[in-house]
Structure 1
Amino acid sequence: MRKTNLGIVVLVILLISNVIILQQINGVKEDIQHLRGDINSTRSWVQNSVNGVTNSVRNMVSDIEKEKRWITPVEVSLGEKNRNKQEVNLSWQIKDYTQGSEVYFYYRNTNSDTFQKISAKNIAGSTFAVDIELALDLKPEIRINKEYPSEISTNEKAIKAERIKEEKFKEAKMRALSSYSYEYYVEVHTGDNIRASEQKRLNLEKLKYIEFSRVQVNITYVDEAKYSFTVYEEMYGTSSNKLEKIFIKGIDSNGNSFKEQFAPRDKTVFTKTIDLGASPQRAELILEYDTGKIISEEVDL
């Protein structure tokens, strides 16, 4: 009987101890939750404070930059085409311009070490402009995508040859891009005082998109003498020149010449399937525009 009573007492003590421990654990959990809440609140406050300081600094820097920006960025437009050169019209504004001050525009191609100097014209108030002739060959960007059957596309020689072609295309594109890339700065001469702007980059590549929409050419290989073409302008109707007719011409491996016209535009797409007597030795696309301009692009079939 005594053993039974002793066991009951022990169980009661253990139960009370467990209840006390559980209460303490719950209390600790609540403290942890409160602590987490305090940490999150502090973190949020710190983050908001940092964001506030960052925004203030950005605004201050922006205000300082605006105060320092005494000249606006150059605006670019196309002028007349003169033989092999393209006239480009550039204009900008000068803040707090002093009447009678002389303004000069300096420019160079990024491949050149020497700046060209030209006197700017005061066309209105504090607005100045120059017209410069540059050797810009404005042509549409033509992207060619070729699709082959799986047995050809997985051939190692074909893959290697295609990679070589892609590398040559990239090199040609980089050379073309460099012809559009210029640097410039402006000087304002007021008596003996000369004020010069920072040297800026002038990318004239966008001019060709004013003239021509980008042309996408998809070529599907059917067999060694048969190819299917799909051609379209990516931004049809937004450029000065609109694609009107397309021809594919060239010479096959037997020495026979060919020239075939694509079907008329269906909405935005031109299509053509050529079936030659032999594999093509050389081929080029002829793009004719509504303005009379004709662009040719060699195609490696």
Structure 2
Amino acid sequence: MADEQPPFPTPVLPYHRKAYPAIDPTRPELSSKGKSIFITGAGSGIGAEVASAFAKSGAAHIGLGGRRLPNLEETKAKIASSHPNVKVHIFQADIADEKSITEAVASFASQTDSGKIDVLVANAGYSAPGGTVDKFDPEELKRNFEINVFGQFNTLRAFHPLAAPGAVVVHTTTGLVHTSPFPGQVAYQSSKLAATRIFDAFRSENPEIRVIQFHPGLPVTDIYSTISKYAGPIPTDDIDLSGAFAVWAASPEAAFLDGRLVWASWDIDSLKAQASELSADPFKYTVGLLGFPKF
């Protein structure tokens, strides 16, 4: 059910706080049957939920990438217990290490039926403990950019030669990229904003690959904890919203959102009603300078 009073200003209503029937991964229209899905940051939180949602949608192969092997094994075990027909592969990899993520993506592709990857969910991210600009640890700022910017760059480079025809990239970003600055979030907010441009560039250079970036809502995760420490209590969302929306974003139904940045909380039927408007306005739901001439 939609939330009648959204916790944030929103251009799309209804506003959802948890998964709802239109984005149910078991809907036949959202089926990922026969497809191979690679997910970074898949050991816990949103990444693990996205993996579970793709398993529900019938994916043939799911690759789980992440730094912590026990977490990846736990995610794999949960999927195996409920969806034994899905082949789940785990890869201990750090996206900030180009060699590590390149080898993981290549290894996964070699184990799929086609030798290619249909969907990349670039979900891995990092948020420093937080702090004001004058007191922030420069090494923590560097770490944010190593993962959230260079790591995404490495991931896209690893994926590109292995993308299947009609491949889709889904990037888990944050609504903070277009909100006012949040106190104490100089590293996370600025690095995630920079990352959106990495994906924008990739999409412009590879028009045959659909790219959708989305804010997954605010489930209780490690990153949520670092943000709320400085910003104060923020209304949270059910984590199933992020997984279900990621599956929908990778489906043909969401093709009209290619190149856009949207929120998982935005009602998809309302978004669909804007398809013609979006076709005529390539800048709506993108990151840019308000009022800058279109070209």
Normalised TM-score (structure 1) = 0.26
Larger % of helix: which? 2
Structure showing greater relative contact order (alpha-carbon pairs closer than 8 Å, 6 or more residues apart) = 2
Larger % of strand: which? 1
Rg: which structure is higher?
1
